[in-house]
Amino acid sequence: MPKETFHRAGQWLPFYPMTPTLKATYQSIEGSIPKIPPKGRKADSVNGNFGGYKYNSNDPDCWWTYSMCTTPNVSGIPDDIAAVPEPNTLGYGFDDGPNCSHNAFYDYLLSNDQKATMFYIGSNVQQFPLEAQRALVDGHQICVLTALTNAEAFAELWYIVGVTPTCWRPPYGDVDNRIRAIANALGLMTIMWQFDSEDWLGIESVTKVNNNYMDLITAAQNGTFSTSGTIMLTHELTNFTMSEAVNFYDQVASAFSYLVPVGVALNVTAPYVEDGYTLPSFEEYIGGMHVVSATGSSGGDNSVPSVGGSSDGSGSSGSTTTGNSTNTSKSGAAKVSLDRVGSFASAVVLVAGIQFML
């Protein structure tokens, strides 16, 4: 498919023409997209800047940036995931990877047999493919961090990492009912957070970041999460953000009963479109099975993974490793045909066109 380009936020980004297939896909989901205009000026909003934008104080669009709303007031759109159902549990994860200097950080996670959810930026995956592949091999869950306007973010994850994620996080948490509807139509679960480390502010704000970590730790120690767990926003962005995660790891692990990938906390055992890649259930994970081997077939369906409530002990089927396994071979992992993945990627490519059409 020939590439074209369009100008957005001062940069030229790859784009794909609106083919008959994409038009048909758009028509199939058009009715589910609320008629809500994009918020703010594109050049500013892409960087999370909505200064001067006037919005109805009643929050009619469940706009997270305005009110941290996670429960859409439109039927058919699932709630955002901002917490986890398992008590005393932290949905552990990091944004903005992979990072070229991350090996020491991933080595640290590996040494603690700690798995996490990695929200990857497509361009970073393209720039650091081996780091992205390592995350998959190490047993981390991979999700997408994208504004849902750059189709290559999704394509790169499959072509380079080998999987198509079914979860995503909007940069700056900028999501409303319009974007949720598009994501939901494409089979993407929206994952947000309740606590913010603000580690992205950098070492100049180390005191503030440290205090934010301590606020989470104190809340856990005070029993705030005795009935259900939470999610904190942290980053793989820089050496500072990763160092902060390492420095506070022992304290966070002591304050919570369990640190697990978000998907594990939700009992999502099929985290990707492709069959064969599975996550352990929550009960399996806390029982010591931290990696389930990827040895299934590629002939399954394209359905959105179901999200369970508090664990009931049920696990995934198929071949699994036992004990505290920390590695799984990618050589036997199933891959679907390019045509199948291309269909999914084409649907995501459509989002870029949709957002500029609405």
Structure tokens belonging to residue 147: 């504004």
- Cβ neighbors of 250 (< 8 A, separation 6 or more) are none
Instruction: Label residue 227 exposed, middle or buried (CB < 10 Å: 0-12, 13-18, 19+).
Output: exposed
Under a CB-based contact definition with an 8 Å cutoff, are residues 198 and 205 in contact? yes
Under a CB-based contact definition with an 8 Å cutoff, are residues 13 and 6 in contact? yes
Active-site entry in 102, 140, 235, 290? 235
First to last CA, the chain: 24
The DSSP-derived string for 232-289 is EE-B-SSHHHHHHHHHHHHHHHHHSSEEE-HHHHTT----BSSTT-BPPPHHHHHTT-
CA distance 252 to 112: 13
Mutual angle of helices 103-111 and 129-138, in 10-degree steps: 10
Annotated active-site residue 44? The verdict is no
CA distance 41 to 300: 42
Annotated active-site residue 196? The verdict is no
Do strands 141-145 and 4-8 pair parallel, antiparallel, or not at all (unpaired)?
unpaired
Under a CB-based contact definition with an 8 Å cutoff, are residues 143 and 120 in contact? yes
Q: In this structure, which amino acid lies at residue 63?
A: W
Active-site entry in 80, 95, 138, 174? 95
Size of the chain, expressed as the number of residues it contains: 358
Q: Return the active site residues.
A: 95, 235
